[in-house]
């Protein structure tokens, strides 16, 4: 279709309209795009079919010569669409990479804290563990007893962090016109991973304390 519109100072003719062409980043809503008369916007789009011996520099040099001959005095400026679109998300990718490294660092610090807590707790409960073993407690029951004590702060942290994480994710997604929905199972999986990492961290110390000779543990007291 062909129609005309007025802009300040002149009238332009647009020849086509795309209603679902999304060129900007996902932060912006989908808008209509007009194909206007080439005299109004001196821009051309060139589709290059890259073959086996395709040379970017040679093609650009030839294009520059043609542009300078056709439009003398105008600067030849160009960019590739396959480079242009990813550049719109470079800042988001950097933020995501930074948050990933911070998350790994936080997990390592938390594991060190849990390991220190396991060492301290088993040292304090050495006599109790020895008495339980003398009275017939199995290794599995002692490991379960210690694991429950260690997992209580982890479970509390998951309960407190889940609403905060949901709020932070919702706030960040508000900046995008097109966004994914936050699934409830995301927090279940994250909580399960946190508990699993905590169990792996404290399991060695718990099993070591449960396998300790009760005579030696009572004698040390």
Q: pLDDT means per 10 residues in the chain (221 residues)?
A: 47 53 63 57 63 68 75 74 76 87 90 83 80 80 82 87 90 81 89 86 79 66 53
Instruction: For residues 106 and 194, give the distance between their C-alpha atoms in angstroms, rounded to a whole number.
Output: 12
Burial of 70 (0-12, 13-18, 19+ CB in 10 A): exposed
The pLDDT of residue 217 is 61
3-state secondary structure of 71: coil
How distant is the alpha carbon of residue 17 from its chain centre?
36
Helix (H, G, I), strand (E, B) or coil at 186: helix
Residue-level pLDDT at 198: 83
| 140, 195 Cβ separation under 8 angstroms | no
For the chain, the farthest-separated pair of C-alpha atoms sits apart, in whole angstroms, at: 99
d(CA 25, CA 42): 24
DSSP state of 41: S
Contact between 180 and 117 under an 8 Å Cβ cutoff? The reply is: no
Which pLDDT value is given to residue 199? Answer: 84
Cα 184 from Cα 199, distance rounded (Å): 23
Give the C-alpha separation, 208 to 69, whole Å.
82
CA distance linking residue 189 with residue 198, whole number of Å: 14
pLDDT at 105: 93
How far is the C-alpha of 64 from the C-alpha of 66, rounded, in Å? Answer: 5
Q: Is 136 left (phi over 0), alpha (psi -120 to 50) or beta?
A: left
> How many other C-beta atoms are found inside a 10 Å radius of the C-beta of residue 42?
9
Q: What is the structure's pLDDT at 164?
A: 92
């Amino acid at each position: 279709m062909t129609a005309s519109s007025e802009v300040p100072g002149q009238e332009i003719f647009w020849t086509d309209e795309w209603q679902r062409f999304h060129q900007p980043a996902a932060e912006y809503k989908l808008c209509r795009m007009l194909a206007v008369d080439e005299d109004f916007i001196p821009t051309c789009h060139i589709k290059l079919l890259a073959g086996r011996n395709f040379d970017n520099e040679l093609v650009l040099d030839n294009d520059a010569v043609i542009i300078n001959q056709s439009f003398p005095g105008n600067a030849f400026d160009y960019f590739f669409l396959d480079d242009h679109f990813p550049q719109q998300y470079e800042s988001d990718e950097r933020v995501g990479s930074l948050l990933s490294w911070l998350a790994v660092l936080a997990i390592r610090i938390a594991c060190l804290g849990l390991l220190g807590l396991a060492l301290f707790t088993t040292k304090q409960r050495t006599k109790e563990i020895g008495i339980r073993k003398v009275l017939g407690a199995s290794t599995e029951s002692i490991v379960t007893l210690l694991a429950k004590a260690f997992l209580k702060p982890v479970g509390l942290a998951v309960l407190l962090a889940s609403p905060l994480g949901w709020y932070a994710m919702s706030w960040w997604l508000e900046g995008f016109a097109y966004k994914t929905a936050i699934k409830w199972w995301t927090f279940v999986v994250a909580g399960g991973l946190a508990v699993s990492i905590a169990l792996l961290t404290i399991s060695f110390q718990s099993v070591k304390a449960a396998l300790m000779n009760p005579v030696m543990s009572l004698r040390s007291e």
